Amino acid sequence: MDKIKVGIIVNTHGLKGELKIKSLSDFNDERFKKGNELILLFQNKEIILKVKTYREHKDMVLVTFDGFEDINKVEIWKGSELYIDRNNIEELDEGYYFFELKGCSVYDQDDNLLGEVEDVIDTAANPILRINKTILVPYVDQFIKNVDIENKRIDIEVIEGLL
């Protein structure tokens, strides 16, 4: 099963099993909708959980899962990651998901290969592409000139000091 990380459990909230989750998704209403299944990776095991409640609070997502409505059942999950099955996401009418940028080859304006996107780092200001562990490129229009997901290619404008 191909999985996409959508959140990290950072803490509990209250006594009724509600979890405070740092969301890694741009579609919280869709990812954490009541009835959706999420995959918890805990101690190298995958646990399928069904969302019972969802709400947002102070830049975090608060979720309870069916059968786990007690703090004593969920506090051991702190620090664990939540995933969805990639096959369960809808295709976008326009654009792409950031996870689809991973593995794309990155070229400069002179068509020189700079490397592959290893990660997309979410920052408060804007996402950043990590290319070959050493190159960090802000994901903004000033630098990102073309993204071709189908051909796994990204063209960027390199300015002095970027590399």
Q: What residues does each domain of the chain span?
A: 3-88, 98-156
Structure tokens at 82: 């939540």
pLDDT at 64 over 70: yes
Q: What pLDDT is attached to residue 95? A: 63
Q: What pLDDT is attached to residue 1? A: 59
Q: How far apart are CA 116 and CA 103, in angstroms?
A: 5
Side-chain-side CA neighbours of 13 within 13 Å: the count stands at 19
**Is-same-fold flag (3-88; 98-156)?**
no
Kindly state the average pLDDT of the residues 31-58: 93
Integer angstrom CA distances of residue 121 from 3, 5, 26 = 18, 13, 13
CATH 2.30.30.240 fits 98-156, yes or no: yes
pLDDT in tens, 44-54: 999 999 999 99
Q: To 5 degrees, how large is the angle CA 27–CA 81–CA 88?
A: 45
Q: What's the CATH number for 3-88?
A: 2.40.30.60
Structure tokens at 149: 């997901």
